Chains A and B, each alone.
Chain A
Amino acid sequence: MAVKQLRWLAAGVVSGLVVSTAHAAAAEPDPRRTELLAGVCFSCHGTDGRHGGDFEPLAGRSYEALQDTLLAFRADTVPGATVMPRLVKGLDEDEIRALARYFSSLEASSAEVSR
């Protein structure tokens, strides 16, 4: 994997944990990008993938499980799937990995920090 991508993914993880200090230098890819990409998922799986009616939280699942499931949706090999294949086809594989890393790096149930 290219160094650039690794930095990206690391930045994505950081942005999920300490949002306010993740001000990378201007030349770095925007660390908020993975978090914003994950925002696409929040509308159905809850903020940070932690609340989604009776969906199991995405937050805190293993990286492999998330990646494999998302790639399977993209390949249309999940029987009975409804909307996920249509959505995941709008993402590339690097983005899918970044999302898997993002959600796996979060704790399943911690409430958002009160400010």
Chain B
Amino acid sequence: MAGVPISRRAVLRFLGLGVAALGARGFPAIAGGDGGHVVVVGGGFGGATAARYIRRFDPSIRVTLVEPRARFYTCPFSNLYLAGLRSFDKLGHGYDALRRIHGVDVVPAWVEDVDTVARHVRLRDGSRLAYDRLLLSPGVDMDWQALEGYDAAASEHAPHAWKAGSQSHRLRRQLEAMDDGGVFILSAPANPYRCPPGPYERVSLIAHFLKRHKPRSKILLLDAKDGFSKQPLFMEGWQALYGGMIEWVGLSADGRVLRVDARRREVETEFGARHRAAVLNVVPPQKAGLIAHRAGVTDRSGWVPVKPETFESRQVDNVYVVGDATVAAPMPKSAFCANSQARMAAAAIVASLQNRAPPEPVWANTCYSLLAPEYGISVAGVYRLIDGEIAEVPNSGGISPLEAGSDFRAREARYAQRWYASICDDTWGPRG
């Protein structure tokens, strides 16, 4: 196998922690090793799942997970936080279980660059980690070039809140401070982007908040598309729950935002209409996380093409990519898919280190959306390789029925909570 990365020590030094200090805090010795070394970049849904399952499938493989944050806060259920229905703390997950139970070496650092010829990654402090196989699950970056007037500085006035963290707090504070009777505007991007039903769940739960606390307010959803995920179910639910509070304007009705003036909280659409908001939430176009570009695995679309049977990059050998960063349509960019792809890619990586053929893949997705705390809907799919492409299994999957009773919607809302508990457990380990 490739050399043991001496740089781990450098990382620890950089963090001001002696090796002894780590030992005293009960970290296990680095586990495994003779089966090869896999470096995983990103401790979100894709990366944490992959790290765990590589260790489960072959404990002789050493796995190093590099993630700068000590706790990961999930986008799933962050719309509940925005609506005041869940504490931010309950979105957080740590890495102790991955370390202690699964023997993953978790290195708190940012990966600056990848040398895919020498096969090592370079951390921000300059130290290196050598790998036999690399797995990237960096998620998305906002594309600050794609929408005039909307860059990182603008997002401090008009938050995207499309990553859970300071952006979520900013948007929550603005919603709390908003006057009754104000207009909340959400600008939704064209496909593809992280979490296709996300913008629609968000306006639903914000409507729930406004209806209770600022009932004269309005919601305007300006959309760069003419249709969206679970649309008939959302429309039905909005009517039933919120009357006319939510107005959706699609692409053909001049919903596409072309310019943003974040300080004035104003947007301009394709045909020149201007809308001014009390709170402006811009969900901009996105692209694969920066490290994917550095590794040379993205194409001109800004996303990562992969071999579907393994999720190895089509462009660079020994680099696997999963989650939102990839081109995996018809699978959506969801946490469920990232988890599912990561489990498969883990098996493919293990097979490749053992010189075996990869297993035949099968993936799944279910995206729950909450329109209110007791009102859930879902879209599900099972995916396989059909003629070498990822395809949904015919006559399976689909969305919740229209016109279902309120007990049905309440059950799905409860099941959404179970899903969240289970997938987080499967990703970061028990109580992780």
Contacts and interface: CB of A to CB of B under 8 A. Distances in A.
A55 B141 CA distance: 36
B34 to A, nearest CB: 12
Given A37-B362, A40-B382, A82 B408 contact: yes
B58 interface: yes
A115 interface: yes
A20 to B, nearest CB: 6
B216 interface: no
B396 A112 contact: no
Contacts of B238: none
A87 B397 contact: yes
A113 to B, nearest CB: 9
B290 interface: no
Interface string A37-80: 10110111111000111110000000000000000000000001
A37 to B, nearest CB: 6
A33 B422 contact: no
Interface in B260-305: none
Contact of A82 (B100, B397, B412): B412
Contact of B425 (A36, A37, A46): A46
A17 interface: no
A23 B415 CA distance: 36
B364 A32 contact: no
Interface size class of B (residues with CB under 8 A): 35 or more
Contact of B418 (A54, A80, A114): A54
Given A20-B60, A115-B101, A87 B362 contact: no
Contacts of A19: 56-58
B415 A83 contact: yes
A86 interface: yes
Contact of B336 (A26, A36, A43, A89): A43
Interface size class of A (residues with CB under 8 A): 35 or more
Interface of B is mostly: mixed
Given A42-B426, A43-B366, A90-B364, A36 B396 contact: no
Interface in B378-432: 378, 380-384, 393, 395-398, 400, 408, 411-412, 415, 417-419, 421-423, 425-426, 430
Nearest to A30: B359
B417 A90 contact: no
A49 B346 CA distance: 19
B418 A86 contact: no
Q: Choose among A37, A51, A54, A82 the residue with the greatest number of B CB atoms under 10 Å from its CB.
A: A82
Interface in B104-150: none
A91 interface: yes
B415 A39 contact: no
A115 B340 contact: no
A111 interface: yes
Given A36-B343, A43-B339, A89-B393, A52 B421 contact: yes
A22 B58 CA distance: 10
Nearest to B392: A90
A51 B425 contact: yes
Contact of B59 (A20, A88, A111): A20
A115 B31 contact: yes
Contact of A23 (B347, B354, B396, B421): B354
A26 B60 CA distance: 19
Contact of B366 (A26, A51, A52, A87): A87
B101 A87 contact: no
B102 interface: yes
B83 interface: no
B422 A52 contact: yes
B395 A89 contact: yes
A82 B411 contact: yes
A47 B426 contact: yes
Contacts of B332: none
B331 to A, nearest CB: 13
Interface in A92-115: 111-112, 114-115
18 contacts: A19-B58, A30-B356, A33-B360, A37-B362, A39-B343, A43-B336, A44-B423, A47-B426, A52-B421, A55-B418, A82-B411, A83-B380, A87-B366, A87-B380, A89-B395, A89-B397, A90-B364, A112-B430
Interface of B: 31, 55-60, 100-103, 336, 339-340, 343-344, 347, 351, 354, 356-357, 359-364, 366, 378, 380-384, 393, 395-398, 400, 408, 411-412, 415, 417-419, 421-423, 425-426, 430
5 residue pairs, one from A and one from B, having the closest CB atoms:
A90-B382, A53-B418, A90-B396, A89-B396, A90-B393
Interface of A: 19-20, 23, 26, 30, 32-33, 36-37, 39-40, 42-47, 51-55, 80, 82-83, 86-91, 111-112, 114-115
